[in-house]
Amino acid sequence: MNDTIASLMAHRSVRAFRDTPVTEEQLQTIVAAGQMASTSSNVQAYSVIAVTEPSLKRQLAVLSGDQAYVEQCPLFLVWCADFYRTCRASEMYLGEETTYEDSTESFMVATIDAALAAQNAAVAAESMGLGICYIGGIRNRIAEVAELLRIPELAYPVFGMCVGVPARQSGQRPRLPVEAVLHRNGYDPETSVEAVKGYDVKMVRYLRERTEGRKSTPWSKIMAEWLARPNRLHVRAFLEARGLLRR
């Protein structure tokens, strides 16, 4: 165990923040740390929008499903997969060449790049004593978010991230055991699924304690409900209209 691993193992989502602003120096450092994440072929196909304007955060909170902490946090980062910059910067060299920014592979490259950069940024923020919370809810009304933030074609908002000084210590949600996700020299289906049984017991105990007995649902049942829910099916049409994910 070292300081880096200890920080990673202490991660928890923060949903209550003090009024303390995130300084410009902290913001610059967080984004610069994000930029040092690995990126496919050095494409760096992502951008991040720092939102501090109260009225914008208020609108984003509503668009994200009335998540109050989006408005409350001092800094809200919107991480975007972005091929707009790549394509515009390359125009003078392309001529009549056929390009493939609309391919599934390009979509994956940009989305993965954004996620890798964001996680680097999250670790950097936590190392400064700040807390973060990822907000996938910005995809609930993704077209309205894109319009509000003036996100151009060939780019889309992947997720948001609340950043700020935690107002209180948050509980840490248990993760699947290592044996459920770690396979050696090939995928082991039986071990992976078998390990969920113990995790279900742990999650029931965690939820009972967290909710004072109001909830006690096993993880596997929560996942069954998640899989059976038609979640954000509008996103594909939005992406295609932006010039992404067409082939």
Same domain? For 127 and 187 the reply is: no
**Domain presence at residue 141:** yes
Give the pLDDT confidence score for residue 170 in this predicted structure: 80
Cα–Cα distance for residue pair 241/166, rounded to 1 Å: 38
Q: Supply the pTM of this predicted model.
A: 0.94
Asked whether residue 246 is domain-assigned, the answer is no
Is 45 among the domain residues? yes
Within-domain flag for 222? no
d(CA 26, CA 128): 8
Say yes or no: 183 and 235 in one domain: no
Calculate mean pLDDT across residues 226-236.
96
**Cα(213)–Cα(103) distance, integer angstroms:** 48
The CATH number of whichever domain residue 25 belongs to comes to 3.40.109.10
Same domain, 19 and 71: yes
Q: Residue 218 has which token pair?
A: 């096993």
Domain shared by 71 and 149, yes or no: yes
Domain that holds residue 146: 3-171+230-241
Do the domain assignments include residue 91?
A: yes
Strand-pairing partners, residue 245, are none
Give the phi and the psi of residue 244 in degrees, each rounded to 5.
Answer: -115, 160
135 and 196 co-located in one domain: no
Same domain, 69 and 109: yes
Please tell me the total count of domains within the chain.
2
* Mean per-residue pLDDT, 188-202: 94
101-117 burial: b if 16+ Cβ within 10 Å, else e? bbeeebbebbbbbbbbb
Tell me, yes or no, whether 137 and 189 share the same domain.
no
Looking at the fold, whether 140 and 202 belong to one and the same domain comes out as no
pLDDT band at 200 (very low <50, low <70, confident <90, very high): very high
| 169 has a pLDDT exceeding 90 | no
Q: What is the mean pLDDT of residues 202-207?
A: 94
Kind and range of the H or E element at 234? Answer: none
Same-domain check for residues 65 and 100? yes
Strands 131-135 and 75-82: unpaired
Same domain for 202 and 100: no
- Please report the pLDDT score of residue 235 as a whole number: 97
Asked if 30 contacts 131 with a C-beta cutoff of 8 angstroms, the reply is no
Residue-level pLDDT at 1? 85
- Token readout for 42 is 């050095």
* 67 and 47 in a common domain: yes
Q: Are residues 197 and 122 in the same domain?
A: no
* Distances, alpha carbon 236 to alpha carbons 104, 107, 140, in Å: 12, 11, 12
Cα separation, 125 vs 27, whole angstroms: 9
Tell which residue, 118, 140, 110, 101, has the closest CA to residue 49: 118
pLDDT tens per residue, range 88-140 = 999 999 988 999 999 999 999 999 999 999 999 999 999 999 999 999 999 99
Chain centroid, CA 163 distance in Å: 12
Tell me if 182 is assigned to some domain.
yes
Q: Is the per-residue pLDDT at 27 higher than 90?
A: yes
Asked whether residue 9 is assigned to any structural domain, the reply reads: yes
Q: Is the pLDDT of residue 163 over 90?
A: yes
Report the C-alpha gap between 139 and 158 in whole angstroms.
Answer: 7
- Checking if the pLDDT of 192 tops 90, the result is yes
Residues with Cβ within 8 Å of 153's Cβ and at least 6 positions away in sequence, in order, are 84, 242, 243
Q: Residue 134: CB partners within 8 Å, gap ≥ 6? A: 13, 118, 122, 159, 160, 161
Q: What is the pLDDT of residue 135?
A: 98
Specify if 128 maps to a domain: yes
